[in-house]
Structure 1
Amino acid sequence: MKRIKTAVVISDKMNKTRIVRVEWTIRSPLYGKFVKRNTKYYVHDEKNSTHVGDKVKIIQTRPISNKKRWKIYKEAS
């Protein structure tokens, strides 16, 4: 089963490639405070249809290049 994540586009300067940020929260085991964590992914965008600030859903796929293992599944609203 392929993994699907919700992300926000943070860079659209490359052709057919976007950099997205996936955020999640965890609870600190020591203090009990909720802490935000994030990861950046290089994502394949075949049509260059997304821009900075867009919310998208990404899906895991075969390796497309050295850093790209995700592609845009659909634009989230």
Structure 2
Amino acid sequence: MAVKERVGTVVSDKMEKTVVVAVESRFPHPIYQKTVSRTTRYKAHDEDNSCRVGDRVRITETRPMSRHKRWAIAEVLSHSPKADKSAGSTAPAPEAAAKEVSE
């Protein structure tokens, strides 16, 4: 049996070692032939807690790890630009800014 793979975007990383990945599928409506997009959310195992919201990831089907978790992160295709900006922020901390104003 072939291993199922999906590519999607991380929409939640609030759990320990688990992320929620939204996978969008597009298909023509059977009667009207308009392109319909449907989003499915998968809970995926993230062993290193390396994924952040907005990351583009590839997930693969795996053994059941919990009640709802049957997918695992295979690779991170691209990191979110929001995560990169917040990690490298050069803005001073609020405490430091408050000290400068009071002096």
Give the TM-score band, short-chain normalised: over 0.9
What residue in structure 2 maps to residue 9 of structure 1? 10
- Structure 2 distance, partners of 1:64, 1:53, is 24
Question: Post-superposition shift, 1:32?
Answer: 1.3
What residue in structure 2 maps to residue 61 of structure 1? 62
Q: CA RMSD in A?
A: 0.7
- Structure 2 distance, partners of 1:32, 1:59, is 30
The aligned amino acid for 1:42 is K
Higher strand proportion: 1
- Structure 2 distance, partners of 1:43, 1:76, is 15
TM-score w.r.t. length of structure 2: 0.72
Per-residue CA distance 1:31-55 (angstroms, 9 max, x = gap): 1110101100110000000000000
- Residue ranges of structure 1 left out of the alignment (5+ in a row): none
The aligned amino acid for 1:12 is D
TM-score w.r.t. length of structure 1: 0.96
**Which structure has the larger Rg?**
2
Runs of 4+ residues deviating >6 angstroms: none
- Residue ranges of structure 2 left out of the alignment (5+ in a row): 79-103
Question: Post-superposition shift, 1:69?
Answer: 0.3
Number of aligned residue pairs: give it: 77
What residue in structure 2 maps to residue 74 of structure 1? 75
The aligned amino acid for 1:45 is D
